Amino acid sequence: MSLSTQGGGCPFGFGSADTATGTAAGGSPASPPGELRARGHHGYEPFQMKDPFPAYAALRAEEPVMYDERIGYWVVTRYDDVKAVFDDWETFSSENAQAPVRKRGPQATQIMDDGGFTAYSGLSARIPPEHTRIRGIVQKAFTPRRFKVLEPFIRANVAERLDAMLARGRDTGTDHGEIVRDLAYEVPTITILTLIGEDLARIDDYKRWSDSRAAMTWGDLTDEEQIPHAHHLVEYWQACLALVEKAHREGGDNLVADLVRAQQDGAEISDHEIASVCYSLLFAGHETTTTLISNALRLLAADASTWQQLVEDPKRIPAAIDEVLRYSGSIVAWRRKALKDAEIGGVSIPAGAGVLLVMGSANRDESKFEDPETFDITRPNAREHLSFGFGIHYCLGNMLAKLQAKIAVEEATAKIPHLRVDDPESIEFRENLSFRVPLAVPVSWED
């Protein structure tokens, strides 16, 4: 299994504008690879995720709306400004939400064109009225009933993986495990593949394809580095088209079949749009939830007192998950495009400019959250975080993402009451513009 480039805002972002060419948001080419890392603004480095929060704080204090020529975006870091932009979809379009950060090279473009790659956004890069139409149809299929059916399956899956981790520890006499590899890597993928009716034997395929999608869309790749990822995206899109064809042919009790039946009953949604929803869901629905589960256990088990509170009172876990989302969300930045001359925080933004909304900074804004740099599972307003976005594009799958994280923590506190994170400060994060993904979360426990 590959554990490379896992992505992480909306765990069900429903979108890809991978058909875009990837020029900088304002229309000029993005800086070439390497230059993106060469200079900083108040310590802010767009792709560095080890500890971006001091730089975020400096930006909020000194230049809360700042143009970064390295990536071609206006970087917005204060809570009220980020929320206002999310809420004003008529001025700040989502059409660039998932366009490639770097321009796609000629070889990758040829590969994807020859492979019939025409994937477009499920929802997050669409705008009304198209967005309204598709979201209404998907929302009717994406029901709490499906979550309720999945819950015991998710719980059994989590329990099985935790038991296996404990058994390996006993067999080796080490009492050590690794949360990403042993738990978080597969659980959300199995959930999503089950939800859409895909063969669970394809877990590694979808992980590989998702790695490539994250790298091609939000990474800083050379033209040569893009080539294998382009092949993977063609495979990924063809698999999504095949799922829709299968639903037409065989039906079934899954989300794709529900959307096909809705189409047959008169709902205005095309096969291409259903496949695009799959393309988005299969990425966003598991990659960011993998990160959410990893971050939840990374933060909650790093402090013995916090972990003990949850062991003794599991009813605290849902609030703790909201604080995880505030303090260390899977997605720390998301994109918008100004459709007309506008202002953000008193700064003039020209029409056509790209805007990078840094939710990871907004969620630690001192004007909104008291003592924001402290991780506090009793925080009364933690649910007001912006990690799922805000407004018409608010994450449609937030409940399923939080459910999986809650179950993971419930099972872990029950089975491993003395779980501890080994050296939390040494954990590394993948370089990426938008996703803050821990590469590994080593843990240990006492019998």
Q: What is the pLDDT of residues 167-196, one digit of tens each?
A: 999 988 889 999 999 999 999 999 999 988
Task: Give pLDDT, residue 82.
Answer: 98
Q: What is the pLDDT of residues 402-414, one digit of tens each?
A: 999 999 999 999 9
Q: What is the pLDDT of residues 14-42, one digit of tens each?
A: 333 333 333 333 333 344 334 433 445 89
Task: Give pLDDT, residue 40.
Answer: 53
Q: What is the pLDDT of residues 211-253, one digit of tens each?
A: 899 889 888 889 999 999 999 999 999 999 999 999 999 999 9
Residue with tokens 């979201």: 135
Task: Give pLDDT, residue 102.
Answer: 82
Helix %, strand %, coil % for the chain, to 5?
50, 10, 40
pLDDT, mean of residues 250-270 = 94
Task: Give pLDDT, residue 121.
Answer: 62
121-130, 208-217, 422-431: which is most confident? 422-431
CA angle, residues 346, 352, 353, in degrees to nearest 5: 50
State the average pLDDT for the chain: 88
Task: Give pLDDT, residue 142.
Answer: 77
Q: What is the pLDDT of residues 360-378, one digit of tens each?
A: 999 999 999 999 999 999 9
Q: How confident is the model at residue 10 (pLDDT cuts 50, 70, 90)?
A: very low
Q: How many CA atoms lie within 13 A of 329 on its CB side?
A: 27
Name, in order, each residue with C-beta under 8 angstroms of 436's C-beta and a sequence gap of 6 or more. 8, 49, 52, 291, 328, 329, 330, 331, 332, 360, 429
Q: What is the pLDDT of residues 37-93, one digit of tens each?
A: 344 589 999 999 999 999 999 999 999 999 999 899 999 999 999 999 999 999 999
Task: Give pLDDT, residue 128.
Answer: 82
- CA separation for the pair 426, 329 (Å, rounded): 19
Task: Give pLDDT, residue 19.
Answer: 34
Task: Give pLDDT, residue 205.
Answer: 93
Q: How confident is the model at residue 350 (pLDDT cuts 50, 70, 90)?
A: very high
CA angle, residues 267, 272, 273, in degrees to nearest 5: 50
